[in-house]
Structure 1
Amino acid sequence: MDLITPEYGLFVWQVVVLIILIFILTKFAWKPVMKAVAAREDSINDALASAEKAKEEMANLKADNEKMLQQARAERDEMLKEAQQIKKNIIAEATDDANKKSEAILEKAKVTIESEKKQALAEIKSQVAEISVQIAETVVKKQLDNKDEQMKLVDKMLDDVKLN
């Protein structure tokens, strides 16, 4: 078996080619690659900064929305209070108006009853006067000889008046 023997010349040329390759890559490729990596790193950092800024803006918007929501709730509660107060005022006014109207109706009814009562009393007085005149006329027309007959006649007429 043949053992592989190292060839030093080939090794030296390979090392020289490797060094030349590293030099060429360093001179021509390394800078653009590093610029591209740096540019990519900068764009990633910018994107992270933008994301952080957007996150802060979202937090601010959320806080503003919560604040606006609380204000809207407070305004709603205030409007409900005002509506309740207006409702109470309307009910109170309606009750007062109804009470005033009912009192006016009652007063009008009392006045009407009083006038009808006076009219009825006047009519009764008129009838009593008329009946009294009729009794007197009857008594005068009839020539009675004794008082007993006059009293019977007056009692009879009074009974007639009571029946009517």
Structure 2
Amino acid sequence: MPAFLSPELGLIFWQLVIFLLVLFLLAKFAWKPILLALKEREDSIEGALRMADQAKIEMQQLKAGNEKLLTEARLERDRMMQEATQMANQHREAEKARATAEANTIIQQAREAIQQEKNAALAEVKNTAAKLSLDIAERILRRELTDPAAQTQLVDSYLKDVKLN
């Protein structure tokens, strides 16, 4: 068997001593800082995960709050639109009623003015007819009264009318 396959007892001893010395040095100086660094890294990762979960929960709460605010804003907008529509309808109805009342007033005033004008025109026609009748009667009477024979004939005709009535 070759020599490198069967090590001697002294070599094994020194290798074991060196291994134990390296193991002791690593345990004394390297493992604690490595384990501490690993522990710190694990703690920071765990803290980051907790913060991420907390941030996720906060984001969900913010999202729910935003949805609630958005819903409230929509309801408020709908309410305001409904109020504006009602106010516009009321205003339109009030204006329509005012315009109708004003139109009725104008129509009534026009009717009254027409009636007054009609009455005035009728009175004027009556006055004119009376004046014309008086003028005609006056002319007839003047002509009739100037002639004595005509006067006699006029009296006779009046007497005949009186007898008939």
TM-score band (shorter)?
0.7 to 0.9
What does residue range 115-130 of structure 1 map to in structure 2 within 5 Å?
A: 115-130=116-131
The number of equivalent residue pairs is 147
Alpha-carbon distance in 1 for matches of 2:2, 2:102: 133
Secondary structure of the residue aligned to 1:22 is helix
CA-to-partner distance for each residue in 1:68-117, whole Å, 9 max, x for gaps? 00000000000000000001011001101100110111011011101101
Residue 8 of structure 2 is aligned to residue 3 of structure 1: no
What does residue range 1-164 of structure 1 map to in structure 2 within 5 Å?
A: 3-4=2-3, 5-143=6-144, 145=150
Secondary structure of the residue aligned to 1:142 is helix
Alpha-carbon distance in 2 for matches of 1:108, 1:116: 12
Alpha-carbon distance in 1 for matches of 2:113, 2:25: 127
Deviation at 1:46, TM superposition (A): 0.5
> Which amino acid counterpart does residue 88 of structure 2 have in structure 1?
K
Greater relative contact order, per chain length (Cα 8 Å cut-off, separation 6+)? 1
Alpha-carbon distance in 2 for matches of 1:50, 1:91: 59
TM-score normalised per structure 1: 0.84
Which structure 1 residue ranges, 5 or more long, are not aligned?
151-164
> Which amino acid counterpart does residue 104 of structure 2 have in structure 1?
E
Secondary structure of the residue aligned to 1:3 is coil
Alpha-carbon distance in 2 for matches of 1:35, 1:115: 116
Deviation at 1:135, TM superposition (A): 1.8
> Which 10-residue stretch deviates more, 116-125 or 63-72?
116-125
Alpha-carbon distance in 2 for matches of 1:28, 1:113: 123
> Which 10-residue stretch deviates more, 61-70 or 7-16?
7-16
Alpha-carbon distance in 2 for matches of 1:28, 1:137: 158
> Which 10-residue stretch deviates more, 55-64 or 130-139?
130-139
Alpha-carbon distance in 2 for matches of 1:118, 1:3: 156
Which structure 2 residue ranges, 5 or more long, are not aligned?
158-165
Question: 4+ runs of 1 displaced by more than 4 Å?
Answer: none
TM-score normalised per structure 2: 0.83
Alpha-carbon distance in 2 for matches of 1:33, 1:6: 34
Alpha-carbon distance in 1 for matches of 2:21, 2:136: 166
> Which amino acid counterpart does residue 47 of structure 1 have in structure 2?
A
